[in-house]
């Protein structure tokens, strides 16, 4: 009888030990120390986006139009701009708290160049911040370059950034950029006709640079027009030299 009772007691002790061991096992079979998280850090900043970046001369060489691709309703925000010789570094981020449309189009941001950059010589542009990328601009003889003034003369200007695409700079209300109903070759120039704004359109009273990216069918790299003719909704015309 003593042997039987001892065996039963040992069996009970063994079962209790196994039960305790089972309770100590991490749920789901995860290894000790594993929190079960997916590995993403929701508190970390969004990673930079590798971006296709292009650039066009504007404002007599005092500024460039920096072209990126993405949502038309989320214009990238230009932060710090610095220069080391002919290398210009531009901080570029997406606007915060903005709902973005799902289209994918070229957008241009106005970048005033730091004093000391020579637009008659080649310029390298490096983009940092929410975007990463780079662009090269060939120097153009006759450009004045930055003088410390961000806005220059505040007159319209334009520059080619691709075989058949240009950036147009106009000045006015930042909330009412121009919309062009037609853009086409017209002899040795590009004719861009601005559409009339809505009758109930309300515009802010600021006076800011507005950049429009215009594609022109039928243009080749070796025969790009040197002028663009802006036609206002009232039919008034203004001829502007296109750099590049």
Reference 161, options 22, 67, 59; nearest CA is 67
* Ranges 46-50, 122-126, 175-179: which has the least confidence: 46-50
Q: Please, which pLDDT band fits residue 50 given cuts at 50, 70 and 90?
A: confident
pLDDT 10s digits, 194-224: 999 999 999 999 999 999 999 999 987 778 9
**pLDDT value at 14 more than 50:** no
pLDDT 10s digits, 97-110: 888 999 999 999 99
Reference 226, options 236, 239, 215; nearest CA is 239
Mean pLDDT of 174-183: 95
pLDDT 10s digits, 126-145: 999 999 999 999 999 999 98
pLDDT at 19: 41
Mean pLDDT of 156-170: 95
Q: Please, which pLDDT band fits residue 18 given cuts at 50, 70 and 90?
A: very low
Distances (CA, A) of 110 to 11, 61, 168, 198: 81, 12, 10, 26
Looking only at the bridges linking them, the beta strands covering 123-129 and 87-93 are parallel
What is the rounded average pLDDT for all residues in the chain? 82
Using a 10 angstrom Cβ sphere, with 0-12 exposed, 13-18 middle and 19 or more buried, the burial of residue 60 is buried
CB contact at 8 A, 244 and 161: yes
pLDDT at 176: 94
Q: Please, which pLDDT band fits residue 147 given cuts at 50, 70 and 90?
A: low
pLDDT at 99: 87
């Amino acid at each position: 009888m003593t042997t039987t009772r001892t065996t039963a007691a040992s069996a009970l002790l063994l079962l209790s030990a196994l039960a305790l061991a089972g309770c100590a096992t991490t749920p789901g079979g995860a290894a000790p120390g594993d929190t079960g998280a997916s590995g993403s850090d929701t508190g970390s900043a969004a990673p930079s986006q590798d971006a296709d970046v292009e650039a066009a001369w504007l404002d007599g060489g005092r500024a460039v139009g920096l072209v990126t691709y993405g949502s038309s309703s989320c214009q990238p925000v230009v932060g710090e701009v610095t220069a080391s010789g002919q290398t210009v570094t531009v901080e570029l981020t997406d606007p915060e708290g903005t709902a973005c449309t799902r289209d994918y189009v070229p957008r241009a941001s106005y970048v005033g160049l730091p004093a000391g950059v020579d637009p008659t010589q080649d310029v390298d542009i490096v983009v940092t911040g929410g975007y990463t990328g780079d662009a090269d601009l060939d120097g153009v003889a006759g450009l004045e370059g930055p003088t410390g003034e961000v806005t220059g003369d505040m007159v319209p200007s334009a520059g080619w950034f691709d075989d058949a695409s240009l950036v147009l700079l106009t000045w006015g209300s930042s909330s009412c950029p121009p919309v062009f109903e037609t853009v086409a070759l017209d002899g040795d120039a590009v004719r861009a006709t601005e559409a009339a704004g809505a009758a109930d359109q309300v515009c802010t009273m600021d006076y800011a640079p507005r950049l429009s990216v215009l594609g022109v069918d039928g243009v080749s790299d070796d025969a790009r027009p040197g002028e663009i003719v802006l036609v206002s909704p009232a039919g008034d015309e203004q001829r502007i030299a296109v750099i590049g």
